[in-house]
Amino acid sequence: MRQPEKLVIQTLEGVLRKYGYSAASARILAQNCATAQRDGSESHGLFRVKDYISTIKSGYVNGDPSPKVEDVAPGFVRVDADNGFAQIAISAAKDLVHRKAEVNGIAILAIRNSHHLGALYLDVEDFADRGFVALAFVNSIAVVAPPGGKSGVYGTNPLAFAVPRAKGPPLVFDQASSTVSHGDLQVAAREGRLLPDGTGVDKTGNPTGSPHAILNGGALSPFGGHKGASIALMIEVLCAGLVGADFSYEVTSAETPGARTARTGETIIVIDPRKGASRLPSIGERVEDLVGALAAAGQTRVPGDRRTRARKESGRYIDIDEEKWRDLIALGAE
Amino acid sequence: MRQPEKLVIQTLEGVLRKYGYSAASARILAQNCATAQRDGSESHGLFRVKDYISTIKSGYVNGDPSPKVEDVAPGFVRVDADNGFAQIAISAAKDLVHRKAEVNGIAILAIRNSHHLGALYLDVEDFADRGFVALAFVNSIAVVAPPGGKSGVYGTNPLAFAVPRAKGPPLVFDQASSTVSHGDLQVAAREGRLLPDGTGVDKTGNPTGSPHAILNGGALSPFGGHKGASIALMIEVLCAGLVGADFSYEVTSAETPGARTARTGETIIVIDPRKGASRLPSIGERVEDLVGALAAAGQTRVPGDRRTRARKESGRYIDIDEEKWRDLIALGAE
């Protein structure tokens, strides 16, 4: 079924407020969750509402944080998210980071003491809408084993990247450094689907494609073997090592029943491409050139295309599974 | 056989000068090439000398460049490498970038009109030796097909990353965004070795592990499927799109007989971790924590270990295949 975007956001906001999120947190998280749902990013859409509720009920997350934004250097913003969601911290620091990137050519936003259940591309897309190139990294909870290992050390550690395009919305990608995201793993487990062999390892360290074996004592594997593992490692360093946050394997959420998030860090790098190109055309036009070359070589879809199409088709409406929508309404009425 | 490091560098320098490189270029490239050889990075060591010679003989590269360093913004340095090797441009800009990173917390070095035959990790390791976290990206020549494609669009586009460690040399990785580097592909072809199936595609677009099929009308594949392809795409954007350099598929070196390099771009991001951590311990100590957790999970070797060991074992000497050493001496005497 389809529901007006505004109604979905309002409903989500109401549910989140009801379970203890402040007005500001509920507004930002509801917008984030609804946008992921609209874009077809199922595993970061309404699917996550139960986790937002469970994690705040557990007391593990602060639903009314006051992020502490520190202007550390002309290109460096550091935020203590006050144990709230990273998106609240980003919202508090975004304008400052934007100005710094414009003046300095590059700026970094380093967040610690934060949580993340949303789609990471939403944290960079907005910067690309304003003409910047942006990269974001977030670490999470130890569910990814290093090559040859049998227990989780890394989080699924996504990397998101966004760059403006001349002829449409930014080119954006957002990918876990594991074979699949933890959200997709949970969806597969719920639907009883087998994943490709080697998606993870079972509790004895043997490669497997069974979501249940991976979730019960096993671990996911990095994508692309040791190279994906290097990306995961880099993300741990950039998120946790750099900002004084916890590494994924240090996260203690398991000690709090009901906690569904990880208290870690997030880092965003924002680059002003107007400082880079010494000649026309603009970076947006150059990206169109590259997309054209990929199409000529046989790649018909570039990152972000599916999302852009889903967005265009949905307009101001959001496609929602009828049962999920009823569940949401019920949560608000309980 | 083993030769003293100093002798290897001097010999390389003599050969490079003889074939037309300026004293400054020959010194920097000889040092770079000898260091890669010493570190056990065979494919960027003496193996490359013939390419350095061929490419300058072809007239495609400027052996005596005057890099133009532009201080564009407090955190942004732009360099026109004057059609010389990127390492010469980095050498000209390094102190400025270092100061900018220290003052601003982050800085970017965007190089265009440059060539690269060396090991990319050498471009970041030095920053980590000085206490910084650094990332480098370089694009090259279109030898990597996008997923589903049969012709090359991307370069092998390596990403290098370096971060200080408290108890030893920096943790460093350097990995092509293709299944294997072009250097390793050439080595395999020369030795008649088959690579794993799917290392690349043949000229009809079918997956293959034959270096000859890949080199003759085929293309390499990105590592890890579409996720590795996204990394390759990001690197094209950061190296070429950002700095006004050519994308890998735009490189015209094939029109110049004997040219062995690509005139593209390179981008380095340098972060000062002393701005990031608001609490002890230092990032170097945190990296030791992470390395310890990886060891506990069964990963006995972290990126850079092999290199560090090779370096320690070789001391002030470099291991060289006897035939390669004789070839080098002969090149200098010709």
Q: Give the CATH number for residue A2.
A: 1.10.1530.10
Reported pTM: 0.96
Angle between helices B23-38 and B5-18 (to 10 degrees): 140
One domain for residues A330 and A282: no
Q: Is B270 inside any structural domain?
A: yes
Chosen from A100, A106, A121 to mutate, greatest number of chain B CBs within 10 A: A106
| A227–chain B Cβ distance below 8 A for any pair | yes
Across B269-290, average pLDDT: 88
pLDDT at residue A298 tops 90: no
Read off the pLDDT band of A303 (50, 70, 90): confident
Distance from C-alpha of A113 to C-alpha of B275, rounded to nearest angstrom: 16
Which contacts (CB < 8 Å, 24+ apart) does range B313-317 have?
Answer: B314/B2, B314/B5, B314/B38, B316/B4, B316/B5, B316/B6, B317/B2, B317/B3, B317/B4, B317/B5
| B258 touching chain A per CB within 8 A | no
Same domain flag for A311 and A299: no
Alpha-carbon distances of B219 from A280, B203, B210, B248, B262, rounded to whole Å: 31, 7, 11, 13, 17
Asked if residues B269 and A301 have their Cβ atoms less than 8 Å apart, the reply is no
The two tokens of residue B154 are 């991307």
pLDDT at A183 over 90: no
Q: Is the pLDDT of residue A269 over 70?
A: yes
Cβ separation B104–A75 shorter than 8 A: yes
Whether B298 shows a pLDDT value over 90: the answer reads no
ipTM above threshold 0.90: yes
Model pLDDT, residue B113: 96
**DSSP 8-state code for residue A150:** S
Contact between residue A146 and residue A187 where contact means Cβ atoms under 8 Å apart: no
Single out the catalytic residue among A184, A210, A221, A248.
A184
CA separation, residue B11 to residues A224, B4, B33, B119, B316 (Å): 39, 11, 11, 19, 15
For residue A194, being part of any structural domain is answered with no
pLDDT tens profile B195-225: 999 999 999 999 999 999 999 999 999 999 9
Q: For residue A243, which residues of chain B lie inside 8 Å, CB to CB? A: 276-278
A279 lies within 8 A of chain B by CB: yes
Contact B287 A241 (CB under 8 A): yes
- Asked whether residue B26 is assigned to any structural domain, the reply reads yes
User: Would you say residue A278 has pLDDT above 80?
Assistant: no
The residue length of chain A stands at 334
Q: What angle in degrees, to the nearest 10, is found between the helix axes of B23-38 and B49-57?
A: 150
Does position A267 have pLDDT exceeding 70, yes or no? yes
CA angle A119–A313–A296, rounded 5-degree value = 80
pLDDT number for residue B184: 86
Residue A77 near residue A90 (C-beta atoms within 8 A): no
In the block, tokens 């998210």 appear at A81
Is A211 among the domain residues?
no
Q: How many angstroms separate the CA atoms of A61 and A253, rounded?
A: 10
Give residue A175's pLDDT: 95
- Look at residue B286 and tell me if it is in a domain: no
Choose among A224, A269, A278: nearest Cβ to B224: A224
Chain A interface, best mutation among B72, B80, B106, by max A CB count within 10 A? B106
Euclidean distance between CA atoms B205 and B202, whole angstroms? 5
**Is A85 in the same domain as A155?**
yes
Give residue A131's region: left, alpha or beta (phi > 0; psi -120 to 50): left
Mean pLDDT is lowest, of A71-85, B15-29, B57-71, B299-313, for: B299-313
Say yes or no: A42 and A103 in one domain: no
pLDDT at B273 over 90: yes
Burial class (CB in 10 A: 0-12, 13-18, 19+), B310: middle
Of A238-242, A291-295, B147-151, B305-309, the poorest mean pLDDT is in B305-309
Q: How confident is the model at residue B43 (pLDDT cuts 50, 70, 90)?
A: confident
**Which residue's structure tokens are 């294997």?**
B180
Q: Specify the 3-state DSSP secondary structure of B208.
A: strand
User: What order do you get walking across the sheet with A159-165 strand by strand?
Assistant: A68-73, A76-80, A106-114, A264-271, A133-138, A159-165, A168-175
Residues A281 and A308 in one domain: no
- Helix (H/G/I), strand (E/B), else coil: A111: strand
- Report residue B304's pLDDT band, with 50, 70 and 90 as the boundaries: confident
Q: Could you please report the per-residue DSSP string of A19-45? A: TT--HHHHHHHHHHHHHHHHTT-GGGT
State the catalytic residue, choosing from A25, A41, A44, A181: A44
Asked if the C-beta of B269 comes within 8 angstroms of chain A's C-beta atoms, the answer is yes
In a domain, residue A18? The reply is: yes
Average pLDDT over all residues of chain B: 94
My answer on whether A272 and A299 are in the same domain is yes
Residues near A163 by beta carbon (within 8 Å), at least 6 away in sequence = A128, A133, A170, A171, A273, A283, A284, A287, B237, B241
A161 plus A242 within the same structural domain: yes
The answer to whether residue B293 sits within a structural domain is no
Q: What is the pLDDT of residue A181?
A: 87
**Average pLDDT in chain A:** 94
Yes or no, beta carbons of A293 and B73 under 8 Å apart: no
Does position A172 have pLDDT exceeding 90, yes or no?
Answer: yes
Question: Of the candidates A80, A275, A286, which has its C-beta nearest B241's C-beta?
Answer: A286
Task: Please indicate whether residue A300 or residue A162 has the higher confidence score (pLDDT).
Answer: A162
Comparison of pLDDT for A270 and A332, the residue scoring more: A270
Q: Nearest chain A residue to B74 by CA: give it.
A: A104
Please answer yes or no on whether A272 and B73 come within 8 Å at the CB atom: yes
Location of structure tokens 């203690």: A252
First-residue to last-residue Cα distance in chain B: 23
Distance in Å, alpha carbon of B231 to nearest chain A alpha carbon: 9
* Structural domains of chain A, count: 2
Q: How far is A109 from chain B (nearest CA, A)?
A: 9
Contact B169/A at CB under 8 A: no
Distances from the Cα of B61 to the Cαs of A91, A270, B33, B327, in angstroms? 47, 33, 17, 23
Q: Is residue A245 part of a domain?
A: yes
CATH classification of the domain holding B54: 3.30.1370.60
Share of chain A above pLDDT 70, in %: 99
Residue in A73, A146, A299 closest to B105 by CB = A73
B233 Cβ contact list (under 8 Å, min separation 6): A173, A290, A294, A302, A303, B154
- The reported pLDDT for the residue numbered B221 is 97
Distance from CA of A333 to the nearest CA of B (A): 42
The angle subtended at Cα A22 by Cα A18 and Cα A23, nearest 5°, is: 90
Across the interface, which of B70, B287, B293 has its CB nearest the CB of A237?
A: B287
pLDDT number for residue A279: 61
Q: Chain B contact for A287, CB < 8 A?
A: yes
Residue numbers of A between 123 and 162 with CB closer than 8 Å to B? 133, 135, 145-153, 161
Q: Does B297 touch chain A (CB under 8 A)?
A: yes
Determine the pLDDT at residue B279: 61
First and final C-alpha spacing in chain A: 23
Q: Which residues are paired to B70 by β-bridges?
A: B78
How many CA atoms are closer than 13 Å to the CA of B261, on its beta-carbon side?
A: 30
What 3-state class would DSSP assign to A189?
Answer: helix
Separation of alpha carbons B133 and B314, rounded Å:
26
* A41 counts as catalytic: no
pLDDT above 70: residue B278: no
Q: What is the mean pLDDT of residues B227-243?
A: 96
Residue A329: domain span:
1-57+304-334
Label residue A298 exposed, middle or buried (CB < 10 Å: 0-12, 13-18, 19+): middle
A25 with A170, same domain: the answer is: no
| Confidence band of B123 (pLDDT split at 50, 70, 90) | very high
Same domain? For A229 and A249 the reply is yes
Query: Quick one: A134 and A277 in the same domain?
Result: yes
Whether residue B187 contacts residue B214, with contact meaning beta carbons closer than 8 Å, is answered with no
8-state DSSP, B166: T
Give the tens place of pLDDT for each residue, A103-144.
Answer: 999 999 999 999 999 999 999 999 999 999 999 999 999 999
* Residue B146: band (very low, low, confident or very high) from pLDDT cuts 50, 70, 90: very high
